[in-house]
Amino acid sequence: MADRGIQWFRFTAPANFYDLSGRLIPWFAALTVALFAVGLYLGLVVAPPDYQQGDSYRIIYIHVPTAWMGMFLYVLMAVYAAIGLIWRIKMAEVMAKAIAPTGALFTFLALWTGALWGRPTWGVYWVWDARLTSMLILLFLYLGYMALHAAIDDRQRASSASAVLAMVGVVNVPIIYFSVQWWNTLHQGASITVTEAPTMATIMFVTLLIMTLASWMYAIAVVLARARIELLERERNARWVQERMEERP
Amino acid sequence: MFGTLMALLRRDLVLALRRPQDALTVVGFFVVVVSLFPLGVGPDPEFLRSLAPGVLWVAALLATMLSLERLFSDDYRDGSLEQLLLVPEPLGLLVLTKTVAHWLITGLPLVLISPLLALQLNLRPDEIVLFMLALLLGTPVLSLIGAVGAALTLGLRGGGVLIALLILPLYVPPLILGAGAVDAVMHGASAQAHLSLLGALMVFALFGTPWATAAALRIMLD
Amino acid identity at A4 = R
DSSP single-letter state for residue A1: -
Residue B198: pLDDT band (50, 70, 90) is: very high
> Distance (Å, rounded) from C-alpha B193 to C-alpha B197?
6
Nearest to A164 among B162, B197, B212 (CB): B212
* HSE-CB of A93 using CA atoms within 13 angstroms: 23
List CB contacts (< 8 A) between A141 and chain B. Answer: 169
How many independent structural domains does chain B possess?
A: 1
Give the model's pLDDT for residue A185. 66
The residue type at A15: A
Q: How far is CA B182 from the centre of its chain?
A: 18
Phi, psi of A108 (to 5 degrees): -65, -45
Handedness of CA A174, B161, A222, A125 (dihedral sign): positive
Q: What is the residue extent of each domain of chain A?
A: 27-43+57-193+200-234
Quote the CA–CA distance of A163 and A142 in Å, as a whole number.
Answer: 12
Q: Among B166, B187, B195, pick the best mutation site for testing chain A contact (most A Cβ within 10 A).
A: B166
Pairs of CB atoms within 8 A across A/B: 75
- Residue A194: count other Cβ atoms within 10 Å of its Cβ: 17
Q: Which parts of chain B fold into alpha helices (H)?
A: 2-18, 20-41, 45-78, 80-86, 91-102, 108-120, 125-152, 159-167, 172-186, 192-220
pLDDT more than 70, % of chain B: 100
Cβ pair B122, B43 in contact under 8 A: no
Check residue A45 and report its DSSP letter: I
With the CA atoms of A131, A135, A141 and A143 taken in that order, what torsion angle do they form, in degrees rounded to the nearest 10?
-160
Q: Give phi and psi for A168, each to the nearest 5.
A: -60, -40
Asked if A172 is an interface residue toward chain B (Cβ–Cβ < 8 A), one would say: yes
Q: Which residue of A has its CA nearest to B169?
A: A137
Q: pLDDT higher for A9 or B19? A: B19
Candidates A148, A136, A49, A53; CA nearest to A100 is: A148
Range of the domain at B93: 2-220
Q: Which of B166, B70, B220 is nearest to A161 (CA)?
A: B220
What residues contact A65, with CB distance under 8 A and at least 6 apart? A208, A211, A212, A214, A215
Q: Which of A144, A160, A168 sits opposite B212 (nearest CB)?
A: A168
Are the C-beta atoms of B37 and B51 separated by less than 8 Å?
yes
Asked whether the ipTM of the predicted complex exceeds the cut of 0.90, the reply is no
Q: Residue type at A139?
A: L
B206 — pLDDT class (breaks 50, 70, 90): very high
DSSP annotation of B105 reads I
Distance, in Å, from the CA atom of A91 to the CA atom of A95, rounded to the nearest integer, reads 6
Query: Residue B26: what pLDDT?
Result: 92
b/e map of B48-76 (b: 16 or more CB within 10 Å)? Answer: bbebbbbbbbbbbbbbbbbbbbbbbbebb
pTM of the model: 0.89
Residue A111 near residue A132, CB atoms below 8 Å: yes
SS3 A54: strand
Query: Which residues numbered 69-88 in A keep a CB inside 8 Å of some CB on B?
Result: 85
Residue B125: pLDDT over 60: yes
Mean pLDDT of chain B: 91
* Digitized pLDDT (tens) for each residue of chain A, 249 residues in all: 445 566 667 777 888 888 888 899 999 999 999 999 999 998 888 887 776 777 878 888 899 899 999 999 999 999 999 999 998 888 899 999 999 999 999 999 999 998 888 888 778 888 777 778 888 999 999 999 999 999 998 888 999 999 999 999 998 888 888 887 777 765 544 344 455 555 567 888 888 899 999 999 999 999 999 999 999 988 888 888 888 888 776
pLDDT digits (tens, 9 = 90+) for B27-64: 999 999 999 998 998 888 888 998 899 999 999 999 99
Q: How far apart are CA B132 and CA B28, in angstroms?
A: 18
Nearest chain A CA: its distance from B88 CA (Å): 22
Taking alpha carbons only, the member of B132, B128, B145 closest to residue B202 is B145
Q: Is A50 helix (H, G, I), strand (E, B) or coil?
A: strand
Is there a contact between B75 and B221 (Cβ–Cβ < 8 Å)?
Answer: no
Of A85, A164, A180, the CB nearest to B172: A180
End-to-end, the C-alpha distance of chain A in Å comes to 40
Q: Report phi then psi at B221, rounded to 5.
A: -100, 10
| Partner residue facing B177 (CB), from A151, A161, A179 | A179
CA neighbor of A227 nearest in space, from A102, A111, A116: A102
